[in-house]
Amino acid sequence: VPALIEIDSDGHRGGLVPDDPALLGIAAVLAGAGCLRGVMTHAGESYGAVGAEAQAAFAERERAAVVQAAERLRKAGLACPVVSVGSTPTAHAATDLTGVTEVRAGVHVFFDLVMAGIGVCRIDDIALSVLTTVIGHQPARGWIVTDAGWMALSRDRGTAVQAVDQGYGLVCADDGTLLPDLVLRSANQEHGIIARRDGAAAPLPDLPVGARLRILPNHACATAAQHDGYHVLPAKGGTLAYWPRFRGW
Amino acid sequence: VPALIEIDSDGHRGGLVPDDPALLGIAAVLAGAGCLRGVMTHAGESYGAVGAEAQAAFAERERAAVVQAAERLRKAGLACPVVSVGSTPTAHAATDLTGVTEVRAGVHVFFDLVMAGIGVCRIDDIALSVLTTVIGHQPARGWIVTDAGWMALSRDRGTAVQAVDQGYGLVCADDGTLLPDLVLRSANQEHGIIARRDGAAAPLPDLPVGARLRILPNHACATAAQHDGYHVLPAKGGTLAYWPRFRGW
């Protein structure tokens, strides 16, 4: 089994710090078994870094950690062909990738509201949405009820800890135009509840039963995992393509 | 299309209140089209009711609402063969189902930590767990890292608003024995982080890399939806059965 040694670049989760005394011993065992391919890290803490400057600092921290670990291996006479980093905020902010051979950014293929919330993309860049239909209203509460709840959107509330809480998602017309001041306020298993954002000036728009809307997700990875595939809109219109998803363990 | 009219029994989400003036008009339209089968409700607010007495009160509220609506239809000369209620807390606490023809409880087939947290079941009654493997440790932080993150467990944090927050789940040995004072403290996409509960007296148990554990979920519906099927343990042991899940829209 080809193996990379995980390096802890920011204290987020797993791996060895680059100067961990155990690194060379582990590498020697893997090399002896013919498995060692290199080192990898994931800058999980960069998802809390707001703005390109803070993200660039994380990118450099990520790079420095794996390059330092790779150099320790090479000085010990071990080959380290793969030096891998990976996180969407750092992939977009990195200014120097010297010594890195692989960047494993993931959510950048779609972007989402969490990424928009830390300035990695604009809301208009988000390429994944859930198509839903208005199925009812509770006028006294200012609610528009849809048929996409958390089973379609996921329970991810990643923007809850950001400067702007986007609820369970933002609301677009079915052509993708953002409807201002609306938010998917809450989600039940198979129902979404759209309401005006707190402090919104505009009244609730007239979205009758049957109106189709698109919900932009907090976290594209979590939302996509609730579905078996993607219905892909060609840029110039025409027939939808269908891309099945890989699932399971 | 056979149709039930949704009745709002507790202000939780959708439907008409039983004495809504629009009820008979809607029923007449459906009956005229040959679609009307009856009335239904869901006591969504009962999930916040702690203990059998409070849940029984919700069960009576749920029953009274649909029975009142059904009687209005019948007095208007419309058939109402189906009078349907449905929520796991009320299904277990109801003492009188007079006039009800159907109970649509769902999560009761598995139970989960949310249901245990409001006294509908005991933790030992929970029949669904996610099998996971220990893949690492961060001793300085008191973390045991597993290979089941929120992609395997869901992002559901239903116990966060209950008296006891169970994190992303409780931890059992692979034979289902609860390991006291441990909680799945946090979850990344493909990693779970087990730690001692705040205030726990016992030290972190010795769970080496490769140890297999079972995680009891906050919400069985959400957790099951992350998987394509169930691996079913026969009560008397023997070969696992596999039950595929229905998925998609």
For B44-76, the pLDDT digits (tens) are 999 999 999 999 999 999 999 999 999 999 999
Name the DSSP letter for residue A58.
Answer: H
The DSSP secondary structure of B149-204, one letter per residue, reads -HHHH-S--GGGGSSS--TT-EEEETTS-EEEEEEEEEE-SS-EEEEEPTT--SPP
Residue B70's contacts (CB-CB under 8 Å, 6 or more residues apart) are B38, B39, B80, B83, B99
Taking the Cβ of residue B189 and every Cβ of chain A, the question of whether any pair is shorter than 8 Å is answered with: yes
Do the chains contact at B136 and A249, CB–CB below 8 Å? no
Residue A87: other Cβ atoms inside 10 A: 30
Comparing C-alpha atoms, which of B43, B40, B39, B46 is closest to residue B9? B43
Report how far residue B136's alpha carbon sits from residue B117's, in angstroms, rounded to the nearest whole number. Answer: 30
Question: What 3-state DSSP class applies to A209?
Answer: coil
Cβ-nearest to A228 among B189, B193, B247: B247
**pLDDT tier at A202, thresholds 50, 70, 90:** confident
Distance from CA of A227 to the nearest CA of B (A): 7
Tell me what pLDDT residue B132 has: 98
pLDDT at A209 over 90: yes
Report how far residue B40's alpha carbon sits from residue B187's, in angstroms, rounded to the nearest whole number. Answer: 37
- Quick one: A44 exposed, middle or buried, by C-beta within 10 A (0-12, 13-18, 19+)? buried
Report how far residue A113's alpha carbon sits from residue B220's, in angstroms, rounded to the nearest whole number. Answer: 27
Do the chains contact at B221 and A189, CB–CB below 8 Å? yes
pLDDT tens by residue, A17-67: 999 999 999 999 999 999 999 999 999 999 999 999 999 999 999 999 999
Cβ-nearest to A14 among B136, B150, B222: B136
Distance from CA of B191 to the nearest CA of A (A): 8
Cβ-nearest to B228 among A138, A191, A247: A247
Q: What are the phi and psi torsion angles at B67 (to 5°)?
A: -65, -40
pLDDT at A173 over 90: yes
pLDDT at B114 over 90: yes
Question: What 3-state DSSP class applies to B108?
Answer: helix
Q: Is A152 left (phi over 0), alpha (psi -120 to 50) or beta?
A: alpha
Structural Rg of chain A based on CA atoms: 22
Question: What 3-state DSSP class applies to A191?
Answer: coil
Distance from CA of B117 to the nearest CA of A (A): 19
pLDDT at A249 over 80: no
Tell me what pLDDT residue A147 has: 97
pLDDT tens by residue, A77-96: 999 999 999 999 999 999 99
Tell me what pLDDT residue B248 has: 80
Mean per-residue pLDDT, B24-30: 98
- Structure-block tokens of residue A117: 């919330």
Tell me what pLDDT residue A102 has: 97
Distance from CA of B214 to the nearest CA of A (A): 16
Do the chains contact at B225 and A228, CB–CB below 8 Å? no
Residue in chain A lying closest to B145 (CA)? A14
User: In Å, how far are A28, A85, A105, B178, B236 from A47, measured between CA atoms?
Assistant: 33, 14, 12, 34, 47
- Quick one: A99 exposed, middle or buried, by C-beta within 10 A (0-12, 13-18, 19+)? middle
**Residue matched to tokens 């002896």:** A32
pLDDT at A75 over 80: yes
Tell me what pLDDT residue B13 has: 87
* pTM of the entire predicted model: 0.94
Question: Which helix (H) or strand (E) segment is B230 a member of?
Answer: strand B229-232
Question: What 3-state DSSP class applies to B242?
Answer: strand
Interface with A, mutate which of B150, B190, B245 (most A CBs under 10 A) = B150
pLDDT tens by residue, B191-242: 999 999 999 988 999 999 999 999 999 999 999 999 999 999 998 989 999 9
Tell me what pLDDT residue A235 has: 87
pLDDT tens by residue, A211-233: 999 999 999 999 999 999 999 99
**pLDDT tier at B98, thresholds 50, 70, 90:** very high
Scored b (16 or more CB within 10 A) or e, B206-235 reads ebeeebebbbbbbbbbbbbbbbeebeeeee
Report how far residue A14's alpha carbon sits from residue A5's, in angstroms, rounded to the nearest whole number. Answer: 11
Tell me what pLDDT residue A248 has: 80
